[in-house]
Amino acid sequence: MKERRLRIIDYSLLLIFLALLIYASLGLSPRGDLNSWVNREESVVHSPNAAAYYIRHAYHDTHSPNMVTAILADYRGYDTLGEETVILTAGIICFLLLRRKRRKNKKDNNKEIKAENERSRK
C-alpha cells in the first residue's frame, strides 16, 4: 500500500514537472526566427549581444581558427570548467551507487548460497 502511494506521488510530481516544462516552452520564440531577441545584434537595453561579439572577434582575440574552441576555451573557460566538474561529480556518484547495489546483491547471493549449503548438509 505504501509503495502504491509513493508511486502515485512520483507520477504526480512527474506530470506537474512535465506541465511546467510545456508551459515554459510556449514562451520560446520559433526556431530560426531572425527577429527573436537571441538573434539581435543588440539587446533590449541596446547593449551589444555577446554572441555577436564572439562571432566578430573570436579569431582576433584567440588566434584559433575554430570558433567553438575559442568560445569554450577562452571566453567561457571557467563556465566550461564548472560544467565539467558537475559532470565528473555526477559520474562518480553514479559509479558509487551502482557499486553499492552490486555489493548488496553479492551479499544477498552469498547468504542464499550459505543457506542452501546448510540445508544440503542436513
Per-residue pLDDT of the chain (122 residues; tens, 9 = 90+): 778 888 899 999 999 999 999 999 998 888 777 777 666 777 667 776 777 788 888 889 888 888 888 888 888 888 888 899 999 999 999 998 888 766 666 666 676 777 777 777 76
Residues 6+ apart with CB under 8 A from 62: 69, 70, 73, 74, 75
Q: Which three cell numbers stand for residue 35?
A: 527577429
Res 104: pLDDT:
63
Res 101: pLDDT:
64
Res 27: pLDDT:
84
State how far the Cα of 90 lies from the Cα of 80, in Å rounded to an integer.
Answer: 15
